[in-house]
Amino acid sequence: MVGRAIPLKKEKPNWVNTLLHSKFFGSCVDHRDLRKNERNVFCIDCNLCYCKHCITSSAHCLHRWLQICRYVYHDVVRLQDMQKHLDCSKIQTYKINGEKAVHLNPRPPCKDSRPSKPKGGTACEACGRHMQDLPNRFCSIACKVSVVLEKSNRDRSHKVITFPIAEVNDLSLSENSNPEGDLSWAASSDETQFWANSALKPKKQLHKRKGVPRRAPLC
């Protein structure tokens, strides 16, 4: 049964989290007496890993499962198989036996590598590892999952606050209000009345009080 590829926009599926944290190529407990009993198969429907002998001896053969391979001591999966269940675009691919594969988790940085700026290529947006292929943005499935989910959560956290027209009309007078004296923008009716009375109330004319005349000093 082939499922639809998940675009990873809302949340990470449970089986993806288990896949990225599973330890593969250990001996299967149920088939410890058989040869080639490495646990290098992951069942998407059961959300667990098992060996190839478990496929024929159980109902896993009817489920969706992935074959895990080894590439330079790291776990990889065939791009053709993984693309059926998860969007693997912009992930760095590698050739294994003539087939394209992608890393499950980022590779650790080299101990002898010096921090020098690469001449070409690009860097992974999650771990910063250098990649030769410029169109790619991630070096592994785990890096793409972390970046895409972080961006999705950040976008959902920013909410636009809008005010209805009724609340906007309650704002106080400002310099951008109607120059003709529209009082509908006043904070309240009391403040409007106070402002109107103060503006229309005639001002009393103040008369200057005459000073006391001074006489010239006697000579």
Residues of the chain with pLDDT below 50 are 1, 115, 160-189, 192, 194-196, 198-200, 219
**What does the pLDDT look like over 33-72, one tens digit per residue?**
999 899 999 999 999 998 988 887 777 778 899 999 999 8
Calpha distance 127→122 (Å, rounded)? 12
**What does the pLDDT look like over 151-160, one tens digit per residue?**
878 777 655 4
Q: What is the DSSP letter of 107?
A: P
Residue burial 95-115, b: 16+ Cβ < 10 Å; e: rest: eeeeeebbbbbbeeeeeeeee
Predicted TM-score (pTM) of this structure: 0.64
Q: Spell out the residues 6+ positions from residue 77 whose beta carbon is closer than 8 angstroms to its own.
A: 66, 67, 68, 69, 101, 102, 104, 141
Using CA atoms, how far residue 207 sits from 32, 110, 203, 204, in Å, is 114, 92, 12, 9
Tell the residue number behind the tokens 């896993």, with chain if given. Answer: 60
- Report, in angstroms and rounded to the nearest whole number, the Rg of the chain calculated over CA atoms: 37
Contact present, 147 and 125 (Cβ < 8 Å): yes
